[in-house]
Each structure stands twice: as C-alpha cells, then as structure tokens.
Amino acid sequence: MITRTFPRAAMLELLEGASKSLKEVSRALIGKSRWASQHELIFREGEALYRAHFETGEEVVPWECETDVVVFRVVPREVTVIKYENIP
C-alpha cells in the first residue's frame, strides 16, 4: 500500500471545504457507536486519489491526537454488487 502524510490543518480545511489544493470526492458514514460516527473520506490532490478515515461526535474531533494524518493512495474500480429483494 502506498501511503502519504498530510498536515492535520490541511485535512481539517478539506473537511470544511476551504482547501485550495485538496478536493473532496466522496464522504461516507461507515460506522457508528454510542459517542462517535466513523467516516471514510476520498479526496483528490491533482490527479492522485487518497482515502482517509476519521471520527466525529459530541466530544470527538477529527484526528484530535495527530499532528499529521496518514492516508492511503487509492484508484477507482467498478464493482458489481448483487442484492436480494423480497418477491412481491
């Protein structure tokens, strides 16, 4: 896996929509606990795409204990999903 480190301040700007160099591609809720929600963030810098995870909540601030955020380089891949539905 290819990783890269971004300053926490730059990542917070990205979440707020104030970043000039980083652009959000998608944000998804991937988990929830009593006190926090876990999110997956896909973002772009130039032509490169990256994945980051973070938590939010009443007393939870994204990447609160980190000065730098380690993210993973990703590529888009189309996936076929089979769903099962009730027969009417």
48-61 pLDDT, tens digit per residue, is 999 999 999 988 99
Q: Give percent above pLDDT 90 in the chain.
A: 93
The per-residue pLDDT for range 58-88, each reduced to its tens digit, is: 889 999 999 999 999 999 999 999 999 999 9
Mean pLDDT of the chain: 96
Quote the Cα angle for 56-60-61, to 5°. 75
Instruction: Supply the pLDDT for residue 87.
Output: 94
CA distances from 88 to 40, 61, 81, 82, 84 (A): 35, 45, 21, 18, 12
The reported pTM is 0.88
Q: Are 71 and 4 in contact (CB under 8 A)?
A: yes
